[in-house]
């Protein structure tokens, strides 16, 4: 488990109350830009700064995993120009930031389908994952072309194929299914955050958030403060911590 940095935490926050895995639905980039009279793309660009502020906050707090929803399986329905921008933006973000994350000992993982991702973006994904594979301070998982239902369907299809070939497990249980998810080593989510006053899960990490606490904030993604876990009321704890 990454070490906590007590100096980076609010004075009234017990480091033991910080969750190990936080997941974020990054929402509101377009609305933030619209409210300022800017193109939607400017909102996505501003969201990058907020994301990396959050990464820094996660490192300070000692998070083990931070998972962010970058592009859903449903986002292909957006205007073609916006989809192209988002794919190219993710590629340029990897070029700009992967070495910076590596220096901070952050492992980069991508979860989601890869067959529909443009080849030049896939290459950057593979390069970033290879570069940071040995980093252990924190894992930043980026959900790209991801859908929770799609992940579960593909896991079951993979499991069924193994069984047909005689290579499957003797028993189909939760562990068997979990081993066929995009990131079999991903721990359950302790805290799910969604920005921009939306109160939906939006098909994100449906398996992993089974026991997560949910926090919805009205603040849009580009203006969110760096993530810090809120102090917990006495006698409560995050799932997985025995409470």
How wide is the angle at C-alpha 188 spanned by C-alphas 145 and 205, nearest 5°? 25
DSSP state of 222: G
Number of domains comprising the chain: 1
CATH number at residue 68: 3.40.1180.10
Check 20, 27, 60, 150 and give the catalytic one. Answer: 27
- The reply to whether 178 falls in a domain is no
Is residue 145 part of the annotated active site? The answer reads no
Flag whether 132 is in a domain.
yes
φ/ψ of residue 155, rounded to 5: -65, -45
Distance CA 240, CA 232 (A): 15
Q: From first to last of the 243 residues of the chain, give the pLDDT tens digit.
A: 566 666 566 677 777 788 999 999 987 565 656 666 766 667 667 667 788 889 999 998 899 999 999 999 999 999 998 898 888 888 888 888 899 999 999 999 999 999 999 999 999 999 999 999 999 999 999 999 999 999 999 999 999 999 999 988 888 999 999 999 999 999 999 999 998 778 899 999 999 999 999 999 886 555 544 444 443 333 333 333 333
Please state at what angle helix 80-103 crosses helix 40-61, rounded to 10 degrees. Answer: 30
Catalytic-role residue among 41, 75, 135, 203: 75
Q: Whole-prediction pTM value?
A: 0.82
User: What is the residue range of 218's domain?
Assistant: 19-147+188-223
Does 74 map to a domain? yes
Using H for helix, E for strand and C for coil, what is the string for 29-90? HHHHHHHCCCCHHHHHHHHHHHHHHHHHHHHHHCCCEEEEEEEEHHHHHCCHHHHHHHHHHH
Q: Flag whether 214 is in a domain.
A: yes
* Residues 125, 226: Cα–Cα separation, whole Å: 25
Does the annotation mark 27 as catalytic? yes
* b/e 8-46 (16+ beta carbons within 10 angstroms → b): ebeeebeeebbbbbbbbbbbbbbbbbeeeeeebbbbbbb
Does residue 230 lie in a domain region?
Answer: no
Q: Does 13 reside within a domain?
A: no
């Amino acid at each position: 488990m990454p070490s906590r940095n007590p100096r980076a935490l609010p004075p009234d926050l017990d480091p033991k109350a910080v969750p190990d895995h936080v997941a974020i639905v990054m929402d509101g980039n377009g609305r933030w830009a619209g409210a300022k009279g800017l193109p939607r793309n400017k909102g996505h660009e501003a969201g990058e700064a907020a994301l990396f502020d959050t990464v820094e906050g996660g490192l300070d707090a000692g998070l083990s995993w931070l998972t962010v929803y970058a592009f859903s399986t449903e986002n292909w329905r957006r205007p073609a120009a916006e989809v192209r921008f988002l794919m190219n933006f993710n590629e340029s973000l990897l070029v700009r930031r992967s070495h910076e994350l590596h220096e901070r000992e952050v492992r980069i993982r991508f979860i989601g389908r890869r067959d529909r991702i443009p080849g030049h973006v896939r290459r950057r994904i593979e390069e970033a994952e290879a570069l940071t594979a040995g980093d252990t301070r924190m894992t930043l998982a980026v959900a790209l072309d991801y859908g929770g239902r799609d992940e579960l369907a593909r896991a079951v299809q993979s499991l069924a194929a193994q069984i047909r070939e005689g290579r499957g497990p003797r028993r189909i249980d939760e562990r068997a299914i979990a081993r066929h998810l995009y990131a079999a080593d991903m721990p359950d989510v302790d805290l799910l955050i969604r920005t921009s006053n939306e109160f939906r899960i939006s098909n994100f990490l449906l398996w992993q958030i089974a026991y997560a606490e949910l926090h919805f904030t009205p603040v849009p993604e580009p203006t969110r403060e760096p993530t810090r876990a809120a102090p917990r009321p006495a006698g409560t704890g995050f799932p997985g911590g025995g409470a």
